């Protein structure tokens, strides 16, 4: 745990998972890793591939003491945690296309949110496609690829997936999408949020696989939308982050003599009506510190909501008897700026826009025991000090 592994490039998840699953037939040595791989060659391991959108390494297990992310922290405690992992590009589609094909953006020719690499670059084999071609049932839940205008509406189906993906429905999509960057909701008064829907589907998928006793191994990819804008989450998660505990970025001004070419005007955030109402000179004006507190609080709350959905999926993995034969990978697609150097969102080459959390769990190799369980940070008996026990 806590391995300081430096890899500035997003083909690392592909290489790690591919390496584990393709060498299982050739391992005969007696050390823990190769012993496990030798056993796995007789029963091919499943893969649970988890992605979060716009997630910087803002987790308790990455040294963020004010964050409440117990499920990802528990996974990190049982995983190899990569402390210096970076995306290729600080934008969804180029980054995801890169690590899902194992190729650089210069090769995929994807630099925007619309281009489909199979149309402009080549018929590259993707990670889920590779598993599918080697006998795995490949299931997409949520946002894995970024669907562009030229891409299939089902994000690389049927090439990468055994069945049409479950993408979920955003109940807040539509003309009011940009009414506010911060939208805490009462979930009892609305349809389930999109990440809740997709976690529900992943849990049911695991329940069904267990009940059917299907021996075919699976590659289950689950992509969570939060903490991507807008920050829509159950309002109770704000209670985890009292405003007097919120800290602003240490350096909140644009670096002097920074070239314009390296600067982003944070247009993604400034498109929301609550930010427009601040009447900031744009581009170039700084969001008032008084409102930065609100923005950072909402990002943290959305992250904790996403953490809970990860916990539900890991709990189902364990309850259904898959945790002892499933490799679990978690990563963000790129980082995110929260007022650091005067920047918001991604779209720059600053470290914080490219650095991602990444962890890899291999049962009985990265840890002994696999008792994943859902940890409810909203429960009255939740003890935040339990995080400290693992990482303090």
Residues annotated as catalytic (active site), given as ranges: 92, 146
Tokens 């904790």 locate to 304
> How many CB atoms neighbour CB 245 within 10 A?
11
Residue pair 330/89 in contact (Cβ under 8 Å)? The answer is: no
User: Quick check: 89 and 105 in contact, CB under 8 A?
Assistant: yes
18 backbone φψ class: left, alpha, beta (φ>0; ψ -120 to 50): alpha
Q: Considering only CA atoms, give the Rg of the chain.
A: 21
């Amino acid at each position: 745990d806590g391995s300081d592994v430096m890899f500035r490039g997003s083909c690392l998840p592909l290489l790690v998972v591919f390496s584990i699953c393709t060498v299982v037939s050739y391992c005969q040595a007696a050390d823990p890793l190769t012993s496990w791989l030798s056993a796995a060659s007789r029963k091919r391991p499943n893969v649970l591939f988890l992605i979060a959108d716009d997630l910087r390494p803002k987790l308790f297990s990455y040294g963020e003491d004010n964050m409440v992310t117990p499920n990802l922290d528990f996974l990190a405690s049982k995983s190899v945690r990569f402390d210096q992992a970076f995306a290729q590009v600080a934008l969804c589609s180029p980054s995801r296309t890169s690590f899902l094909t194992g190729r650089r953006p210069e090769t995929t020719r994807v630099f925007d949110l619309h281009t489909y690499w199979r149309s402009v670059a080549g018929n590259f084999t993707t990670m889920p496609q590779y598993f599918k071609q080697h006998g795995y049932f490949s299931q997409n839940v949520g946002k894995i690829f970024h669907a562009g205008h030229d891409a299939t509406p089902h994000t690389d189906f049927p090439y990468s997936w055994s069945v049409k993906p479950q993408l979920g429905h955003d109940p807040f999509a539509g003309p009011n999408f940009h009414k506010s960057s911060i939208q805490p909701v009462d979930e009892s008064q609305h349809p389930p949020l999109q990440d809740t829907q997709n976690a529900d589907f992943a849990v049911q998928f695991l329940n069904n696989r267990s009940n059917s006793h299907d021996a075919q191994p699976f590659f289950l990819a689950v992509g969570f939308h939060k903490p991507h804008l807008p920050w829509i989450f159950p309002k109770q998660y704000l209670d985890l982050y009292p405003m007097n505990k919120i800290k602003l970025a240490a350096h909140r001004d644009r670096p002097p003599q920074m070239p314009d070419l390296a600067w982003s005007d944070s247009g993604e955030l400034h498109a929301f009506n609550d930010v427009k109402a601040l009447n900031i000179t744009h581009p170039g004006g700084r969001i008032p510190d008084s409102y930065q507190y609100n923005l950072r609080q909402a990002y943290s709350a959305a992250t904790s909501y996403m953490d809970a959905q990860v916990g539900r999926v890991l709990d189902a993995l364990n309850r259904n008897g898959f945790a002892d034969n499933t490799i679990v990978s978690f990563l963000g697609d790129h980082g995110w700026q929260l007022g650091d150097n005067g920047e918001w969102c991604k779209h720059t080459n600053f470290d914080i826009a490219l650095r991602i959390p990444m962890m890899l769990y291999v049962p009985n190799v990265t840890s002994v025991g696999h008792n994943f369980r859902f940890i409810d940070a909203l429960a009255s008996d939740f003890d935040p000090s339990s995080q400290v026990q693992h990482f303090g």
